[in-house]
Structures are given as structure tokens and as C-alpha cells.
Structure 1
């Protein structure tokens, strides 16, 4: 069952402590567009099915990444796409969006998403792997 648009943005706004839904939406659009380039096959389709439709379409039509980005480079790429962002604010944006995405996905799908990503993304999703 897909998370509703308002619920998704409310959670992102709360977690990112944004002034309003516009900032939360901008962060979500950017982060999900970058994430979509890193996921393939059933995992991407299943995640899309659990996101609000607009975000699902962004995930399925991602910004192209030439190669899988390390978590640090993912944050840097997010900063480059968000006007006025620094690496600090982008790290905040990424973890706000990805932690809500993990909640929408559920534990089992989140584990499968993390298997498709370079090491270190577990922290961005708020799911630190037991060391």
C-alpha cells in the first residue's frame, strides 16, 4: 500500500525540520531522482509501488548516474541539485528523505535496497547495519 503524498511530505518536513512542505518536496524530489539511478529491477518497482505516485514516477525516471555513488558523493550530488544547499544541509536532506522512504518500504524491502547500494547507505536510511 503506497504512503499518501501528505503523509510522506509531513514526515520528511518533520524529520528535516523544514519551514514548509515546499522545502520538503524539493528535497524528496532530488533525493529520490538520484536514488532511482542506483536501483534496478523488482526492488525499484516495489519501492515505487509504496511511494506516492509523483515520487514513484521520479524514482522510475531518475537522473542518470554514470556509476553508483558512494554515500559521500550521493550527498555531494544532492547538494549540487538543490539551490543554496551545502554538504551539511544536503546530508540532512538525504537522511530525512531516505529514512521516510525506508519507513514506506518496510524492513524487508529496505534490506534489499541496501544490497543494491554501495556500503554506507544504511546510515543514510537510518538503518545502521549491526557492525
Structure 2
């Protein structure tokens, strides 16, 4: 999957009015996700995503945060200036696109590192 295809998929899933809006949501969601993953896992995930998307995960320099799903969504909401309910929609649009772009093994690695409740954001029940 190429960068523009990734953005287009997120735009369609999230029903965003423009590619720029979808890109802002992608940056916010993946920036918060990167803070939640260990640096090694963020790197592994980034290696399977298109250039332009991968860099968002690679740029994380903070220590790994332990965020509940609610805290994760609150950070996304703050980043895009939305409610937590809208942030859940945004997270689902981005993370389900991530799930489609990576191998099942990598998806499993990412979900295993997160507390329960995150899997549904990726479009899976695991």
C-alpha cells in the first residue's frame, strides 16, 4: 500500500471531507499510538507501513506510556479538537486501515502489547 492509498482509505472510512483532514487524523492517531507502543514495536509496525505514515511512528521519542483505551481516545480528541466519541471514530478509521496494511503476525504483536479494548479499534475482536 502506498501513502496516497493509505490516506484515501482512511478518508473513505472516516468520511472526511479532504485528504488534508484525513492526514491530520492519521498523524494524531498514530502519534498517540506510538507513545503507547515500545520503541521496538513502533519500529516493527512502521516497517510495514508506507513511507510518510511510518515516520509518524518512528519519530516517537517519549518513554512508553501506559494508556487505557479511554486515555488513548482522550489524547486523540485533544489532538484533533473533538469529542471522545469522535476520537473513537477517528481511531477506528486509522487503525483498521493499519490492520489492512500489515501482516496478521504484526497486527497480533501490536494488539498483544496493548490492554484489552484496543483490538476493536483495529477492527478485530482479539
Q: What's the TM-score once normalised by structure 2's chain length?
A: 0.91
* Structure 1 partner of 2:119: 122
Q: CA deviation at 1:22?
A: 0.9
How many residue pairs align between the two structures? 126
Q: What is the alpha-carbon distance in structure 2 between the residues aligned to residue 72 and residue 63 of structure 1?
A: 22
Q: Are 1:91 and 2:108 an aligned pair?
A: no
Q: What is the alpha-carbon distance in structure 2 between the residues aligned to residue 46 and residue 38 of structure 1?
A: 14
Structure 2: gaps spanning 5 or more residues:
none
Q: What is the alpha-carbon distance in structure 1 between the residues aligned to residue 46 and residue 32 of structure 2?
A: 14
- Work out whether residues 35 and 63 of structure 2, in 8 Å CA contact, stay in contact via their aligned partners in 1: yes
Q: What is the alpha-carbon distance in structure 1 between the residues aligned to residue 105 and residue 40 of structure 2?
A: 13
Structure 1: gaps spanning 5 or more residues:
none
Q: CA deviation at 1:89?
A: 1.2
Q: What's the TM-score once normalised by structure 1's chain length?
A: 0.88
Residues 1-131 of structure 1 aligned to structure 2 (within 5 Å): 3-62=1-60, 64=62, 67-83=65-81, 85-129=82-126
Q: SS at the partner of 2:47?
A: helix
Q: What is the alpha-carbon distance in structure 1 between the residues aligned to residue 26 and residue 15 of structure 2?
A: 13
Q: CA RMSD in A?
A: 1.6
Residues 75 and 19 of structure 1: CA distance in aligned 2, closer, same or farther (over 3 Å): same
Residues 28 and 92 of structure 1: CA distance in aligned 2, closer, same or farther (over 3 Å): same
Structure 1 runs (4+) greater than 6 angstroms displaced = none
